[in-house]
Amino acid sequence: MKWLGYTARAVAIVLLVLLLVETDLFAPILAPLNDNGAPAIYHQGSLLFLALNHLGLVALSTFVGGALALIAGIFVTRPAGAEFLPLSRAIVNIGQTFPPIAVLAIAVPSLGFGAEPTLLALTLYGLLPIFENTMAGLKNVPPTALDAARGMGMTGSQRLFQVELPLALPVILTGIRLSFVINLGTATIGSTVGAKSLGEVIMAGITTTNTAYILQGGIIVALLAVLIYDGLGSLERYLAKRTGMAAAR
């Protein structure tokens, strides 16, 4: 039944593209949602531009947060850093403990309005999945692989970069996938502090009680999340198969 999956992906991609560049096509469907005769299609800004900005915020925050979480995860799995595990876990949990909207409220006075406070909130919010999966991936590297690497005379750094990280990569990618998709939905709150994102469409719908606007922004975010989650999942399965970790997982 693989063709069903391919068909569903193709339909989702076509629908996403039409929503972003030919939104007026959906006016007859969305118009009945507005009883007050308000416009059914959001024209205060380009949906494509907002979507690209939205993805940019999420990608940059995931990259920065991923780099920090990856370094921390590697560090605490080394003998020299094991004692810092509780502290590191407490730090990465901050993003999950404090809601992103609270981080925005704290960050705005010092960073101002716009993308900067949103990036900070998303970076903190996305640390935990990548950190935990980095540790899980490195700890589950087969001992036989490490013994073979030692037998070949590899140094600690060589074992890390040539053996451990490649074998742990599928698990680490799972954390990155979760972090990216979580932040994809969370990034909509950035519009409350002036960041350009699809949250602008949703907030416009909320403030004007325009259900059509809310639906446009929500569907686009949902389609992006599903397609990216599916794409990263396929990459993860491919890497797991390549590294021989699929059976172990």
- Residue range 140-158, pLDDT digits in tens: 988 898 889 888 888 888 8
Query: Which residue carries 């096509």 as its tokens?
Result: 25
Judge contact between 161 and 202, C-beta under 8 A. no
If pLDDT is split at 50, 70 and 90, which confidence band does 180 have? very high
What pLDDT, in 10s, does the model give residues 34-86? 767 778 888 888 899 999 999 999 999 999 999 999 999 999 999 888 899 99
Asked if residues 158 and 149 have their Cβ atoms less than 8 Å apart, the reply is yes
**Residue 35: its pLDDT value, please?**
67
Per-residue confidence (pLDDT) for residue 248, from 0 to 100: 45
Lowest mean pLDDT among 16-30, 86-100, 166-180, 224-238: 86-100
Q: What is the pLDDT of residues 3-44, one digit of tens each?
A: 677 888 899 999 999 999 988 888 888 888 876 777 888 888
pLDDT in the model for residue 43: 87
- pLDDT score of 242 more than 50: yes
User: What CATH architecture is 42-243?
Assistant: Orthogonal Bundle (1.10)
Mean pLDDT of 112-117: 86
* Long-range contacts formed by 38-43: CB under 8 A, 24+ apart: 38/208, 38/210, 38/212, 39/210, 39/212, 40/212, 41/212, 41/216, 42/201, 42/204, 42/205, 42/212, 42/213, 42/216, 42/217
What's residue 249's pLDDT? 47
Q: What is the pLDDT of residue 235?
A: 85
Cα 249 to Cα 241: distance, rounded to the nearest angstrom:
11
Digit-coded pLDDT (tens) for 78-108? 988 889 999 999 888 887 787 788 888 888 8
Tokens of residue 109, six digits: 């006075």
pLDDT band at 175; cut points 50, 70, 90: very high
Amino acid at position 158, single letter: Q
Measure the CA–CA gap between 205 and 216, rounded to whole angstroms: 9
